[in-house]
Amino acid sequence: MQTKPTPTQIKKFKKQGQYPRKTKNWLRYRQQEPSRFSQFRIKTLSPTKKLVVGKLKKTAKWAVQSILKKGKQ
């Protein structure tokens, strides 16, 4: 499973204000564009950390799309 984003991707997400992207309960650290994936699954690592993994369209391999960390309430 691919886990490391490229520096270009992270730079783009930071420029767009999406690194991290804040939701009500989570901080989402996007690793790759969602449009590159055909399916998604959420894997729980701990009560405060999760991974969004997806199946890449071109290769059908699974890779990390986002890292979720529990945000402050």
What is the pLDDT, as a whole number, of residue 15? 67
Non-local (6+) Cβ contacts of 50 within 8 A are 26, 42, 43, 44, 67, 68
pLDDT tens for residues 10-58?
666 666 666 688 888 999 888 888 999 999 999 999 999 999 999 999 8
State pTM to two decimals: 0.72
CB 29 within 8 A of CB 60: no
